[in-house]
Amino acid sequence: MVNKKAQVKIQQTAFMLMAITLLFVLVGLFFLSTRFSGLKKTTESLAQKNAILLASKLADSPEFSCGESYGTEKSNCVDLDKVLALSKNLVDYEDFWGVSNIEIRLMVSEDEKLCSQENYPDCNVFRLISDEIKGADASNFVSVCRKAKLAEKSYNKCEVGRLIISYE
Amino acid sequence: MSKRGFLDISFSWVFAILIGAFILFLAIYGVTKFTKTASMSEDLELSKEISFLLNPLETGFEQGIMIPLKLPTESRIKVECDDFSEQGFQEIIIQQEIYNKWTDTNTGTKEYNKYLFTDGFVQGKKFYLFSQPFEFPFKISNLIYLTSSDKEYCFTGTPNSIEDELSKFNQSNIFLENCESPSRISICFGQGNSCDINVNTIDQSIKKFEEETIYYSGNALLYAGIFSDSFSYECQLNRLMKRATSLTKIYQEKATIHSRNNCDSYLSSDLGKLEAFLGTYSNSKDLKSIEGTINQLKGSNQHAECKLW
């Protein structure tokens, strides 16, 4: 009889301790999940911040900027001839800007015509890195310039465009 | 007759103590691990924030601007450079002092398109950042220099152009006189005794105490040499040369596109020479040999009917 009573007591203690352990584990898991969701949010907001900053500054980086090619030095101006040259040498720029895609869109027409080495300059959208657009994006209005030819004479052709940065 | 032991403790007590100790151990282990992860994530977040702060300095037109950076705790900013991959990268690693102990974060924020020059790790609560464009002969990037307010630099015998430029930054840890104080790092242009850093403007070299002589071309690299150690200088310069190679290819391609539009720049042959030089570049000592071509390219582009940059 005494033995049975003791066994019940041991069982009681064991169950109680197991319940306490479980409670601790659950509280820990809840705390960790809250913390990690916070971290995920921070990562997302940092990626967004990076894309916004990049969209506002990328046009002035040496791979895109007009420099003095189209008159005086211009800020927020994308050299489309350079972008075409860059698209041919993209292997050198893997992960360079840390974004999933860079798009330059001319605001001239609604119809989307992707640019390639073959159809340039009869196109209006340049997609570097990938042909697909994934994730969220940040954009900035820029002037887009290139050299064009009229009656065998070259001239500077500048239009309004949008520089769109996609990130995941 | 039941036998009793020396300690009269029931099994349930032994069981409870064992499990209790186990729970306590788990809790202490968990809290320690969590604190470590939390400080690591804080360090990483801070390194990311610093890398964002570099954005306006990296691509901006602005020159001669200085950005002060204040951190809430005593911190170490370390920039590790890797020049092996396609364009190489730098990694900004932050360590913060919490309760007299440095956090131990070995991972940081990788940057492929920025060039930050520091002398080893910089330590303090307040830091200064300033940038200069590096052109070779076209713009490669803005070089960014990071110093701690705890480290004072004093320049003597400085050429007027550099003195004017430095005074524009209005950086409180840069002095252009009273270099006698032993706590200040003395930078001497030309002949100078007992200087920490000697700059020879004739053969464009910088010699630091117990470090290899490094060579520069232009003011941007001169500051890079002064404010960084020779190892990271050579590494970051290698990365810059890799970017210069890629940009040379882009400009060669652009020259072809322009010539299709009856707009020649006549720079192809010099760009070819530059590409050949960059293909064989090994360290800063090689810079001198390409100076003629760089100047020629600069002049030719300036006077070209269709400028490439």
pLDDT digits (tens, 9 = 90+) for B36-78: 777 777 788 887 778 777 777 776 656 667 889 998 889 999 9
Residue range A44-65: mean pLDDT, rounded: 86
Work out the percent of chain B whose per-residue pLDDT is above 90.
53
Residue with the bigger pLDDT between B30 and B117: it is: B117
Mean pLDDT across chain B, nearest whole number?
88
DSSP string, B216-238: --SHHHHHHHHHS-HHHHHHHHH
Set of chain B residues whose Cβ sits within 8 Å of the Cβ of A75: 61
Whether residue A67 and residue B139 make contact (CB cut-off 8 A), yes or no, is yes
Whether residue A69 and residue B309 make contact (CB cut-off 8 A), yes or no, is yes
Helical axes B160-169 vs B219-227, angle rounded to 10°: 60
Please give the interface size between A and B, counted as residue pairs whose CB atoms are below 8 Å apart. Answer: 128
Domain that holds residue A36: 1-168
Whether residue B11 and residue A10 make contact (CB cut-off 8 A), yes or no, is yes
> B38 in contact with A at a CB cutoff of 8 Å?
yes
Burial B161-172 (b: 16+ CB within 10 A, else e): ebeebbeebebe
> A13 in contact with B at a CB cutoff of 8 Å?
yes
Residue A1 binned pLDDT confidence (cut-offs 50, 70, 90)? low
Residue with the bigger pLDDT between A39 and A140: it is: A140
d(CA B116, CA B92): 9
Residue B90 reports pLDDT greater than 90: yes
Residue B96 reports pLDDT greater than 60: yes
d(CA B223, CA B292): 22
Are B198 and B206 within 8 A, CB to CB?
Answer: yes
Residue A29 reports pLDDT greater than 60: yes
| Distant-in-sequence, close-in-space partners of B74: CB < 8 Å, separation ≥ 6 | B96, B97, B123, B124, B125
- How far B271 CA sits from the closest chain A CA (Å)? 15
> A52 in contact with B at a CB cutoff of 8 Å?
no
- How far A167 CA sits from the closest chain B CA (Å)? 16
Name residue, tokens 């090994």: B282
Residue range A44-64: mean pLDDT, rounded: 85
- The token pair at A42 is 């921070």
Among B177-181, B234-238, B271-275, B289-293, whose mean pLDDT is lowest? B177-181
pLDDT of residue A126: 92
Q: Which residue of A has its CA nearest to B306?
A: A69
Helical axes B287-303 vs B268-280, angle rounded to 10°: 160
Residue range B90-106: mean pLDDT, rounded: 86
Whether residue A62 and residue B139 make contact (CB cut-off 8 A), yes or no, is yes
Set of chain B residues whose Cβ sits within 8 Å of the Cβ of A53: 52, 55-56
> A84 in contact with B at a CB cutoff of 8 Å?
yes
Burial class of residue B130 (count of CB atoms within 10 Å of its CB; 0-12, 13-18, 19+): buried
Residue range A13-33: mean pLDDT, rounded: 83
pLDDT tens digits for A129-165?
887 777 888 999 999 999 998 888 899 999 999 999 9
pLDDT of residue B42: 79
Residue with the bigger pLDDT between B211 and B7: it is: B211
Work out the percent of chain A whose per-residue pLDDT is above 70.
98
Whether residue A57 and residue B56 make contact (CB cut-off 8 A), yes or no, is yes
Work out the percent of chain B whose per-residue pLDDT is above 70.
95
Q: Which residue of A has its CA nearest to B56?
A: A57
Model-level pTM? 0.85
Among A8-12, B84-88, B149-153, B206-210, whose mean pLDDT is lowest? A8-12
Residue B104 reports pLDDT greater than 60: yes
pLDDT of residue B74: 93
d(CA A119, CA A108): 16
pLDDT of residue B98: 83
Residue range A93-113: mean pLDDT, rounded: 88
Taking alpha carbons only, the member of B14, B13, B148 closest to residue B74 is B148
Residue B92 reports pLDDT greater than 80: yes
Residue with the bigger pLDDT between B95 and A3: it is: B95
Residue B299: phi, psi to the nearest 5? -65, -45
Taking alpha carbons only, the member of B64, B68, B73 closest to residue B50 is B68
Whether residue A152 and residue B262 make contact (CB cut-off 8 A), yes or no, is yes
Among A25-34, A65-74, B259-268, whose mean pLDDT is lowest? A25-34
- How far A132 CA sits from the closest chain B CA (Å)? 23
- The token pair at A36 is 């990690």
> A17 in contact with B at a CB cutoff of 8 Å?
yes
The ipTM of this complex is 0.81
Residue B192 reports pLDDT greater than 80: no
pLDDT of residue B180: 79
pLDDT of residue B62: 60
Mean pLDDT across chain A, nearest whole number?
86
Q: Return the CA Rg of chain B.
A: 27
- How far B259 CA sits from the closest chain A CA (Å)? 9
- How far A164 CA sits from the closest chain B CA (Å)? 17
Whether residue B263 and residue A147 make contact (CB cut-off 8 A), yes or no, is yes
DSSP B5: -
Are B224 and B240 within 8 A, CB to CB?
Answer: no
pLDDT tens digits for B115-134?
999 998 899 999 999 999 99
Residue range B157-182: mean pLDDT, rounded: 88
Whether residue A96 and residue B251 make contact (CB cut-off 8 A), yes or no, is no
pLDDT of residue B217: 94
pLDDT of residue B1: 47
Number of domains observed in the structure of chain A? 1
| Distant-in-sequence, close-in-space partners of B151: CB < 8 Å, separation ≥ 6 | B119, B122, B124, B173, B185
pLDDT of residue B60: 61
Set of chain A residues whose Cβ sits within 8 Å of the Cβ of B86: 91-94
Query: Which of A13, A42, A95 comes nearest B15 by C-beta?
Result: A13
pLDDT of residue B264: 86
pLDDT of residue B188: 92
